[in-house]
Each structure stands twice: as C-alpha cells, then as structure tokens.
Structure 1
Amino acid sequence: DYLQKAINSYEHPILAANVLGENGRPYFGQPYVIIEKAGVKVAILGVVTQYIPHWEQPAHIEGLHFQSLVETAQQYVPKLRELADVVIVAYHGGFERDLKTGEPTELLTGENEAYELLQSVSGIDALITGHQHREIAGIVNGVPVIQPGSFGRFVGEIVLDVEKIDDGMKVTGASASIHPVADCQPDTAILASVADLNQALETWLDQPVGRVEGDMRIADSMQARLKEHPYVEFINKVQMEASGAPISGTALFNNEGKGFDETITMRNIITNYIYPNTLAVSRITGADLRQALEQTANYLALDEENQIIFNPRFIKPKPQYYNYDMYEGVDYTLDLRQPVGARVTRLEFSGKPVADTDSLEVVVNQYRAVGGGNYAMFTPEKIEREVQIDMTELIADYLRRHPVIQATVNENFQILPQSKKQ
C-alpha cells in the first residue's frame, strides 16, 4: 500500500515488466514506454532484479511474482523491435560474469542477469544497469552498457548514432561513458528550493541521542571483524533486547562506518547502520548455526604470509562486507587453517557445546533471515516473529532508554590464526 501511494504521487511512469500480479500481467502497469524524439521512436523496457523475494518480507510482496530478466526480455524485445527504432533496457540489476572473459564473478542465483541477457537476447541497442554500485561503461557483445556507481557520484551517458536506412531508422554506432560530478556546481535554484528542508534535516541529524563511556570508534574495519569490537557488540545487544532472542548476528556493512563518537548523534547512527533493516527471530538448529558460521568463514582468507584478509572473491567486482556476520550469545572459534566444513572448532551456548539437534532462537536482520547473502540455512518458514521497526529507530530508542552506554566487549568469538595486529 505504501509503495502504491508513492507511485501514485510520481509524475513519471514506473516500468517494471517482470513484476507480475496473480493474473500474470505487470502489476504496476506499464512494462515499457515509447518516446518519440526528432522522428526517432525509442522504446524503454524497465526490469528489476528477480531476487527481491530473497530479502523482502513476504507480506510486502504477497501476490507478486518476479520473473527472470532474460525471460522477460525474450518476451518483449521482439515486440518492441517492431514498434520502435531504438530499444533500450533499463535494468535494476547487474552483471553476474566478468565482462571480458565470461567467467562467473558470483554465485549464479539470478540476482544479476545482465551478462546472460546480452548473450541470449538480440535486438537490444543499449543497456542501463544498477544495483551492484559498480562503475561500468563499455561495449559488451556489441551493446553499449553503463552502471554509474552509487551515491550520485557519476552520470552515465550512452550515445547512439541513428541513421535512416531504407524505410526505417537504424543504430549504426554507439559509445558508453560515465562522468564524475564531484567538480560540477549544483543548481542554485534547486538548492534554494530545498534549503529550509535541508537545514531541518541537518539539525535532526546532529541531535545528540546518547553518550559513550570508553571508545566505540572504529579505527580499522578489518580488525573489527577479526576481534570483537564494542560497536559490533552494541548492535547485537540492541537486537537481542528488541527481539528477546538469546543469540544475535550482525555485520559491519562497509568500511566507511567509523563507529560512535563520545556523543552519539542521529548522523552517527545512520552513517554506521546504513540499511533500512528490520529484525526477524528464526528458530534454527545447532547444525544450522554451525553452517552459518562456516558460511561467514568463507568471507575470510589467508594470504601468502598466513595473515587473515577479507576474501578477495567478495571484494571485487562488488564488496560484500555485509555478508560477514559476527554473533553474540554464543562462544565460537573459526580456524581458517582447517578445511572447509571443519573451520568451526568451538561452538558453545550457555557454557555447553552446541549439538546439531539443539533448537536455538537467533535474531538477524530480515535480509539474512530469508536467506539473503546465500545463507541457505535461513529460510522464511523458520521465522518465529519479527520486529518491524527500522534498526536505526531501534538503536535511537535503545539510547534514549540507556543514554550512557559502555564501550565493552566480552570477546565471545575468536578467529584463528591470530594476526600480527591482534
């Protein structure tokens, strides 16, 4: 309902050809739009990643079916070729393979299908992508493609040369580029129109909501993943209090968050906890938890000097720091020197070893609780209850109840071998 209200307020079309209702037709109306400019008809097909059900709350997408990009394009592109001179695909999704070698760069889950699209569907003149936050501009299988990063740092540009040949217009050449906007001057009229709102926002962001006794700043993100950090323990404490679950898992989502200053503001909260997550409590087995820890160990690796690094497979082409979880409420050791499947060398709950058959309540964010990040041991049917309040609100509410927090750790987990920095 919220989404539909937002869409109704827009002054431009929403194109989502592969989000289907129970009648099998695009749920949000138009699958494509045709724009005519200077006598050239341009068709734009809009598509989203089909992977949405793997992170979204089931109630939010009830009655919706997310079709594959490739299947959708196979259905529409031939039709659009008949209706228009130029066919563009605008895809909220990215590339699952190396653009030059075709080698997979991630698990082929269907979350990103742009490479397969360009191999399987002919008749596309340009492809605009997103979702992975990568900076891409080039020609792939004869098609110009762009993906202009994130946070508005780049503007993507595709230039098509269109000529009249015989009875129709044809694309005879193409180029793709992205342009940094760091040195561009903002539009003064737009700045003026949002000045009052922006000032109100800045005031809200800078309001103090709590205070830290001790040091909760993050000086080294990698070390904060290898040795428990007060900020990580704090987030897990918030999740445990909000949900009532005795075990909690969370992640440092990126390397930009710097933890909490002595005076904690809303800006501190939002710049560290960057995703609009809610929480879910899952009932899992001891075997599930062990598998989850084995999965999280995949995100670490040993270099030539036997020092722990973040696994390069999960940094390029897209950083996946948000998929490395750290748990509170259990005591565990990950030994990266051991073979896959045997890296969890200690796993205890309430002072006792966790058995595979144990039944455990674990709180994680909604993305993880439905299996996001390829954590197959977490599934929607294992969710017992949810806390449908954004984590940033939960953090702020916790700080209002506990205006002074201690920067403490209980060092409940250990990653081996210990690095020189540790």
Structure 2
Amino acid sequence: MQTNKTKLTLLYTSDIHGNAMPILYGTNEAADIGLAKYATVVAQARQQKDHLLVLDNGDLIQGTPLMTHYVKEYTDQINPMVGIMNQIGIDAGVIGNHEFNFGSQVLADAIASSNYPWISANILDEATGKPEFGPPYIIKELSNGVRVAIVGVTTHYIPNWESPNHIQGIQFADAFTTLQEWVPYIRETEQPDILIASYHGGFECDLETGEPTESLTGENQGYQMCEEIPGIDILLTGHQHRKLTGMINDVLVIQPSNNGQMYGEIQIDLENQKDGWTIINKQAALHTLENVASDTGIIHYMEELEASTQKWLDQPIGYIDGDMSIDDPLRARITKHPFIQFIQQVQMDASGADISVTALLNNNTTGFSNTVTMREVVSNYMYPNTLVVLELTGADIKAALEKSAKYFTLDEDGKIIVNPTYLTPKPQHYNYDIWEGIDYTINIANPPGSRIEYVSHHGKPLENDGTYHVVMNNYRASGGGNYDMFKGKPIMKDIQQDTVELIAAYFEQHPTVKADVGENFVVKAE
C-alpha cells in the first residue's frame, strides 16, 4: 500500500571547474574541496536516503592544471571529471559555458563517455534547431511513484566569450524563452509531481528586492525565470560562483559557490493527495566538505594522471632577474607591474602586434618567483584563452579605455578603490584591462565616460578614425565583459595556441627574463 507522505533528497554541484582532488594546485596545499570528497558525501547519502537524485549544473571539465594537462597529454583516456561522475552515479549533467573552452572534440568525447545524460534545451544544432548535446529534459520516476522532471538550460551569452571555432554550427537560444516554452509543455505532457530547472546561469536582480544587480544583458536570467515562468518548483543555478539559497515567487533557488568548495542539498516533502503527489515543503542548504574523507576509490582512479600532473607542474621553465611577484593586486592595476609587462611582451611577441591588452585575472594572482615553474604559469593564467589580433579604430580604443576606467571609483577620502559593481554579485577583476603600446592617462576624479584624458601611439595622439592592430585574448576579442566595441571587428590574426603554451615558448626563447617596467599609463584622482 502506498504511504501518504514521502521525501526526496537532491544533491547537486555546480562550477566544479576541474577540481577532482582535495588540493590547491598553486601551492599544493591540502584543501576541503573536490569531487573525491564529494563522492564520499553521495555514497553516504545513498545509504541513508530512500529517494535520492544527484545532478551537476555545469562548468565541470575546465579550470585546474589537472585538466589542462589532461587535454595536452591524456585525451586518449576518458575525461577524468566524467569518469568520476560516472563512479559517483549522477543522474544528469548540464553544459556550462566553460565546457567549450577546450574545443568541440574534448566536449564531444566527454559527453560520449558519460553514463548519464547531459540535458540541454537551449543549445541547438544550427541546421536542424534540435538540441545538440542531449535531451532538453528527463523524467525520473522514483520507487515511491514520484515523477520528477529535470529541464536543463545554459546561459546563451556563450558566443560573447568563446572562440568561434569551438562553437561552430551551434545556436544558443535564449535561456529564459526556452524555459518559457518547455516548462508548460513538460507540465502538460509529462504531468510531473516536481519540476526542477537546472540552469547554468545566475541572478540578474537582488533576490529580496528584485532590483537589478547587473546590466540586463541576458547572461543571467534566474530572477526573471522565477517571476515569469509558472510551474518551476526548484531552480538550480551556478555560473556566478555565489553562495545562496532563497525563495522567489515560491520557487526554491540555490547556488553552491565554485571549485568544489560546497554542494547543495534540497529536501522535498510530498503528500499523496487526491490529484497525486503534492509538495508540502521544500528546503535548500549549502554544505562544505570540511571533515569529509576522500573516497579512496576516486583517489586511486586519479593516481596516474595526478602524479603526471604534479611532475609537469614542478618543471622549471625559466628564470626571472628581479622581482615579478605580486603582493598588492590593486597597486598592480593602478601602477605598471613587471608581471603585466611580461604578459604583454609574450602577446606582442607571439602576434607581431604593437599594441596589447591584458588583465590581472584575479586577486589570487601572485606573479612569478625567480625560478618559474609550470605550476606558477597555470596558477597565474588559469583560462585556456588563445590570442586574437583585431583591427580597431582610435575611437574603439578610447571607448575600451573608458570601459576599463569604470573599474575604479573613489572612497569618501578621495582614495582610489575598486568599484563595488566589479566585486558583487561576482568578482570581475578580469574585466579591467591594462594596455601596452599606447600611452594614456585615467583620471578617476572625472565622471565615468570622461576619464581618459590622454592617449597616444608612438608619440602621436590617437586618431579616432585611424586603424590600429591590437592583440588580446579571445574572450575579450569576442566582446566578453561587455566590451561591445570589439564585437565584429576585423580579425587580422588568430593564434591557436593558448596563453600557457605561449608563455612556455617565450621562456624557451628567453630563458632568463628581466623584471622591467616601461611606464606607459597613469591612474590618478585629481
């Protein structure tokens, strides 16, 4: 006889970013992160819970030196992140934007070797308009008779970041309108007791007030989904790397940080009423992996690749004459730093361009010690970006400089600080650019849009209608970070080696690099 009440537990991860092992590769220190520990959590839950679903919400296969090394040396073997998820036994995965970073073949191989579906309602084959990588949704019927629908969508902003050759033939339909179409269809056709939307995207508005927290570009649409699409019971989110749980318009929402630091747990209580199972309570919680032992089977499974990765990371590849370390990231953005100068030189050397753009990617960047190892290189440059040379006008360059200048603001004492909009809801330090090959002055005392007081190239004022060749990473060249002035500009050269490879190649040609600084910009407040 069927009982009147039942429970369902859902565990999920998002933005694991290649963190399988419980270590920080930059320092090799032990850390309470990664899928090896999470595997233990899931195994224990399977013993304790009668009804369990386990999901992943994307950005799984990119982000650590382990995965960089795998792609360079071990692609004849199963993708290790997928291999672990197969062992954990997850029910489904969603595609994240970083799944495309290593190219279409690496992603296709990962999906082909998965023992679980990748649900993807809005990533479509351009020719047919049908889902490219997996079903738009799945139905899980549990032993207690509860039917759970899980529909997956991904931020459609990917073409603004990704190398065009990595997403050739793929259409990214609007995530909101896709859910708007699929949710009522699933409700009517499948009549599930629970409908879960797993969205690799985040929130564009404050969860409590509904006030916009970012420009409404369509990158994050979670709030709109909850407010305007009836029928969603639970919205799993990610992408922004935030820690949050809450309720929006009776939709339970959650986001479990990044890098395998936390996982989400949702408890759903149901009661069997006249018209079937009805949700009577739903709660979300975030959990860390502190005091969780690593799964020995996962550790053993990763042994060979991990040992090879560690050997690769410890290889010295070059030497620094002088000091190229970073101890104050804000100062390294306000005043020219030798590490930034080095990255600019690598980009200009590889491309032949005489103007270069780069960024200090995050506030954990430490620069280089006197003996540079691969560990330092991949810790400082964690994205597999390639380089693109664009032809830009002087007006484009000035617009980009004004965009970068918005990164700064002044505190009450007139001191230069980081604009809070670059810190919350997600840190975006990588969206402040530093330029080489031009001389320029930023005055933060001026209002945004009027902060660039001087720009010259080879000693001559930049001409608005003049054309200049500028090298930058592919993320920025496609307009990533809302640098719309770069979108659709002529591509003069496309360099299909990632920056880690280019840095290593530069050291091969220049085994010892002097930590020099050529002052070419001023950031002031007067």
Structure 2: how far apart are the matches of 1:397 and 1:115?
45
* 1:189 partner SS: helix
1:34 matched to which residue of 2?
139
Aligned-residue Cα RMSD (Å) equals 1.2
1:160 aligns with 2:263: no
The amino acid of 2:398's aligned partner reads R
Q: Deviations over 1:170-208 (max 9, x none)?
A: 111111111011332111222122223212211111111
CA contact (8 A) 1:144 1:158 kept: no
The within-5 A match list for 1:318-397 is 318-397=426-505
Letter in 2 for 1:299: Y
Cα shift at 1:338: 1.8
- The answer to whether residue 124 in structure 2 is matched with residue 20 in structure 1 is yes
1:236 corresponds to: 344
Paired with 1:80 and 1:30, the residues of 2 have a C-alpha distance of 13
Please state if 1:212 is matched with 2:320. Answer: yes
Residue 19 of structure 1 deviates from its aligned partner by 0.9
2:53 aligned with 1:53, yes or no?
A: no
Q: Which 4+ stretches in 1 moved above 4 angstroms?
A: none
Q: CA deviation at 1:51?
A: 0.2
1:250 aligns with 2:358: yes
Contact 2:386-2:474 at 8 Å conserved across structures:
yes
- Report the secondary structure of 2:205's partner residue: coil
**Native 8 Å contact 1:208 1:265 kept in 2:** yes
Distance 2:275 2:124 in 1: 36
Mean Cα displacement is larger for which, 175-184 or 229-238?
175-184
Out of 51-60 and 299-308, give the one that drifted further: 51-60
What is the match of residue 254 of structure 2?
146
What amino acid maps onto 2:154 in structure 1?
V
What is aligned with 1:196? 304
Measured in 2, the distance between the counterparts of 1:382 and 1:310 equals: 32
Distance 1:362 1:122 in 2: 47
Would the aligned equivalents of 1:88 and 1:124 in 2 still touch at CA under 8 Å? yes
Q: 1:167 deviation in Å?
A: 3.1
One-letter amino acid matched to 1:162:
L
User: Is the 1:145–1:158 Cα contact (8 Å) retained in structure 2?
Assistant: no
Residue of structure 1 in register with 2:376 after alignment? 268
Structure 2 counterpart SS, 1:386: strand
Alpha-carbon distance, 1:351 to partner:
1.0
Residue 135 of structure 1 and its aligned partner are, at CA, apart by 0.8
Cα distance in 1, alignment partners of residues 291 and 366 from structure 2: 26
Unaligned ranges ≥5, structure 2: 1-103
Task: Please report how far the alpha carbon of residue 210 of structure 1 lies from its aligned counterpart in structure 2 after TM superposition.
Answer: 0.5
Give the whole-Å Cα distance in 1 for the aligned partners of 2:376 and 2:273: 58
Percentage of matched positions with identical amino acids: 48
Deviations along 1:271-320, one digit per CA (max 9) or x if unpaired, are 11111111111100001100100000011111111110010111011111
Shift of 1:136: 1.1
Following the alignment from structure 1 to structure 2, what is the Cα–Cα distance between the partners of residues 183 and 380? Answer: 50
How far residue 6 of structure 1 moved from its aligned partner, in angstroms, is 2.6
- Match of 1:199, as an amino acid? A
* Cα contact 2:385–2:498 (8 A) shared by 1: yes
**C-alpha distance in 1 between matches for 2:249 and 2:447:** 40
After TM superposition, give the deviation of residue 360 of structure 1 in Å.
0.4
TM-score calculated relative to the size of structure 1: 0.97
Deviation at 1:342, TM superposition (A): 2.3
Name the count of aligned residue pairs.
Answer: 418
SS in 1 for 2:485: coil
Matches within 5 A, 1:25-104: 25-38=130-143, 39-82=145-188, 83=190, 84-104=192-212
**1:14 Cα deviation after fit:** 1.0
CA shift, 1:339, in A, is 2.7
Q: Distance in 2 between matches of 1:27 and 1:193?
A: 30
Counterpart CA distance in 2 for 1:18 and 1:281 is 31
Within 5 Å, which residues of 2 pair with 1:298-337? 298-337=406-445
Shift of 1:76: 1.0
After TM superposition, the structure 1 stretch with the greater mean CA deviation from structure 2, 359-368 or 197-206, is 197-206
CA contact (8 A) 2:122 2:174 kept: yes
Tell me which residue corresponds to 2:229: 121
Letter in 2 for 1:20: L
SS at match of 1:6: helix
For the Cα contact (< 8 Å) 2:391–2:489, is it kept in 1? Answer: no
1:5 matches 2:112: no
SS in 2 for 1:377: helix
Structure 1: give runs of 5+ residues left out of the alignment.
none
1:168 Cα shift? 1.3
Shift of 1:81: 1.8
Which residue identity is paired with 1:384? Answer: M
2:307, 2:290 → 1: CA distance?
A: 22
CA pair 297-259 structure 1, distance change in 2 beyond 3 A? same
**CA shift digits 1:344-396 (9 cap, x unpaired):** 11111111111111110001111111111111110134322211111111111
Question: Alpha-carbon deviation of 1:114?
Answer: 0.5
Q: Distance in 1 between matches of 2:270 and 2:336?
A: 58
Distance 1:110 1:123 in 2: 21
